[in-house]
Amino acid sequence: MIKIRLARLGAKKKPIYRVVVADSRNARNNGRPVATLGMYDPAKDVADRLTVNTEAAVAWLGKGAQPTDTIRSIFKKAGIMAQFEASKK
C-alpha cells in the first residue's frame, strides 16, 4: 500500500520532516521514497510550517495513496483535503 507520511530529518531534539509518498512496508527512513511532496517544520510559525506541492499531493490522493493520521490532520489545516474532495466531484 502506498502512503503519504512524514520522514524525519534534522538534529536531535530539532526535527524537520519531509512529506513523502512511500510504500508502507518499508521503514520510515529506509529505502527511497516514491515521491517527495514537501517539508514540514514544527518549530516554525503556524503559517510557515508546511511547504508542499499541492497539485502533486492532490494527484497522489487521487491515485489512491493513503495519508497517515498526522498527514491527514496537517492537510486538513492547509486545505489540501478540501481541494481533494472538490476535485472528486
What the block records as the C-alpha cell of 85 is 474532495
- pLDDT tens figures, 76-87: 999 999 999 999
Domain residues for the domain of 30 are: 2-88
Total number of domains in the chain = 1
What the block records as the C-alpha cell of 7 is 520522514
Secondary structure letter of residue 67 according to DSSP: E
Judge whether 34 and 53 are in contact, CB under 8 Å. no
- pLDDT tens figures, 22-49: 998 988 787 789 999 999 999 999 889 9
Judge whether 9 and 18 are in contact, CB under 8 Å. yes
Distance CA 78, CA 1 (A): 24
Q: Residue 41 sits in a domain of what CATH number?
A: 3.30.1320.10
